[in-house]
Structure 1
């Protein structure tokens, strides 16, 4: 079977959107570390549209560990299919990658990072790829960091490569590249900056001082559901295109990239392709945690109690959909302060619409994992804010009670509870007074919320409905 390539573009069906920019005119202006499915479905799709008006921002895809993706991109002239899966599915050929560098090509990467035409470096390597300790600082005991400090000319870690590239710029007297972390960690730019400065200071304090004053590490937030590109999906793409594509990716239609403003003379016009530029990335992160993740957890625990399996099924339950809509608009949204550029009501509607996507099979059981780690940020902070403001918490108590009921059902059935606090939670949830015992788990609820009598009474009353199998009255709130 013929592979997707520049020469194959003319043979593709008319239903497949082709690149609108001249491929031969694209120059490399961005180096991206970690060209996995999310990068190809998300950031590269933004840049692909950017290239329609400005050819300076082609992406060099860099993989430090595995050559599978970079080999596929090389074999396909940097091209691949982006399938948007929704009620109205579509396919589009992405042509954002001007180069691909895999393991063992360190000399090429070093040369590229030193090239002044490269103005930006970006990364999606997952949180563990940054070699951070539990407190978010650089882990100097990490084997890759130990290696890189001893072998700075041949880095193994992302941190080592960033500092090596910036070190070459400093030595040559050329301007630095900006470093954009695109992994979802709170304060991701600040964390990456601190890690790189700490590493550089061990190597060369003068370099660290220069980086501190000259290099931009803006915070960012990204969002889009990107299911895995399994064999069935790749076969579907091949059937649709008539050619083989080993780098194809899929995602939902919703996509979001929020980026902290940073200074760059004659830089890319990210705003023109839908990137949100703001001084308050933290506000967007909080909105996502409380609105998107808070309603997700609510759908999971209440939906499982109603016998549903997926988010789409839960949102097809009219009573539950109505409850979650009121919870998001009237309770969760009220807990958020003003956020520059964010239409909170519009964001709520967009989130709920995402949950109605029949093409995304998101399992409630999976969302229900690790509740002790998720609920404090997704729902309990919102409950605290409501109590402090004197607002009602009757709806907010429902998902908390649903979580307790979920734990009790799992423990009594002898089923595995996927949570780092599983043993303590199972003991509390199956006690004679499960609500009192659970609200006394301070690592989850804290002393103040767990002992607040208004909160305790609301959760206790809601839990009785779950214990009795009489959930409908709760969903009418």
Structure 2
């Protein structure tokens, strides 16, 4: 997911004082793709919470293709929970934006038109709840990142002490969290006797549909047991697996895209050619024909979700922490170092025995494709961006695999080194003593632990392993403590690059 924040100056026209919009579509160069449908005939059927770069490069593209096929009642109303930047960038463009697909062969540009409006939840919560509660809204999808669910990643339960949850319980009509908005709208639909919408999480949560269903129901129970029972029995929360690498958009990206268009696009999205979306087929309120746009509809997403979390996301995080410490700004740069490429491959190899996949799934080929995708130098996917919110990501990306390998009697040294990389990173000082801008919900707590422990692995590793919301019972396992402490000791003694080079798992 991207957490990009454009500078104010990018909103103003730059290229010939012409801005991307409905009125300017016909003046685009002929090689630029554009919506193959009349946007004025499209009505909204989906509300998306968390309209960042990932949604606009993934789900919104699928909907754009379906609108071109005639499914004109499935347009998207996007909402940012807090930040107005996306709305401010897209509103003057009639919510049009460019999808720039980059590979070694060059860049393909395409204008996406499936987003019809963009709201800012904190500015106008009441109209957003009304839109969610409107009978035409049949799907509410989410990409709010792991931390946006106000839950405890280790347990998957609602964090009742989260400031946003405390606020939303006291102010149900003006919520701050995605969970608060969902429950406020579902409560209104229940009172009106209207059928509920389907909640479609597209975030990297373990069993994301089941997890979000549990969190929403737990929150609703704090408001009304009857509401919670109604949600539990009537609302569908299908699980999904989404896969596309989407770096944050930079000012250079904006400049290059605007030059290709011959007009200004204040917030394009940049991505890779690969895209995948696997969805549990459970939509009682109706859905578009996702399969017509290449979405794989299945009865059980779980094996595919585990495959992505434990192969792609785990190796991505390992490269992010260790690569950043070694001075690599991007994943592609880290992959040019054979030591890091080999380590990423080892993370995947060690995760493979913990996976149970449908017949015909080729994990070796999938892993090879990931290594190829990571090496795409046309994508400037920053290690710093991937390193964000590690406290929310570690349980499903790395720790679950460690638990399963321990259960199978296998070594956890590979994943212990990745965890140690995270520990070294969250001290907020790199190997040269320079400050690291650690973006994490627990950043202050982690920094305090690091300050008390000092740069000593035998003190820092056990202290961080005691953060129960991340590690749970796994943190007290002596096998984990020994492996992570040893790996962290090597990082302090040798540095990330040499530690990876000399890495010899047992």
- Normalising to structure 1: TM-score of the pair? 0.78
Distance 1:446 1:96, change over 3 A: same
Q: Offset of 1:217 from its aligned partner? A: 1.6
User: What displacement does 1:136 show?
Assistant: 4.5
What is the aligned partner in structure 1 of residue 371 from structure 2?
352
The residue matched to 2:103 in structure 1 has which SS? coil
| Alignment correspondent of 1:112 | 131
Question: 2:115 — aligned with what?
Answer: 97
Residue 124 (str. 1) matches residue 139 (str. 2): no
Contact in 1 for aligned 2:411/2:505 (Cα 8 Å): no
Which of 176, 180, 188 matches 2:200? 180
Is residue 50–residue 273 contact of structure 1 (8 Å, CA) maintained in 2?
yes
CA RMSD of aligned residues (A): 4.4
Structural mapping, 1:110-259, within 5 Å: 110-132=129-151, 136-142=156-162, 144-259=164-279
Partner of 1:41: 57
Contact 2:196 2:285 in 1 (8 A): no
Does the 8 A contact of 2:316 with 2:344 survive in 1? Answer: no
* Residues 232 and 137 of structure 1: CA distance in aligned 2, closer, same or farther (over 3 Å): same
Deviations 1:354-373 (A, max 9, x none): 11110233455776789898
| Matched residues, number | 468
Q: CA deviation at 1:248?
A: 1.8
Pick the structure with greater CA Rg.
1
In the alignment, which of 357, 360, 363 is matched to residue 338 of structure 1?
357
Q: CA deviation at 1:6?
A: 1.7
Which residue does 1:58 correspond to in 2?
75
Is residue 467 of structure 2 the alignment partner of residue 449 of structure 1? no
- Give 5+ residue unaligned stretches, structure 1: none
Q: Is the 8 A contact 2:416 2:480 kept in 1?
A: no
- The aligned runs of 1:19-30 (5 Å cut-off) are 19-30=35-46
What are the Cα deviations for residues 325-383 of structure 1, in whole angstroms up to 9, with x where unaligned? 4x366543233222588542332122111111102334557767898987776557656
Cα drift, residue 93 of structure 1: 0.3
Give me the whole-angstrom Cα distance separating, in 2, the residues matched to 1:254 and 1:422.
39
Taking the aligned partners of 2:177 and 2:109, their CA distance within structure 1 comes to 35
Closer/same/farther in 2, CA of residues 114 and 395 from structure 1, 3 Å limit: closer
Pair 1:46–1:341, CA change in 2 (3 A): farther
Give me the whole-angstrom Cα distance separating, in 2, the residues matched to 1:61 and 1:183: 16
- Unpaired segments ≥5 residues, structure 2: 1-16
Shift of 1:308: 5.5
User: Measured at CA, do residues 425 and 184 of structure 1 come closer, stay the same or move farther in structure 2, by a change above 3 Å?
Assistant: farther
8 A Cα contact 1:48 1:95, kept in partner: yes
State the distance in 1 between where 2:107 and 2:289 align.
Answer: 28
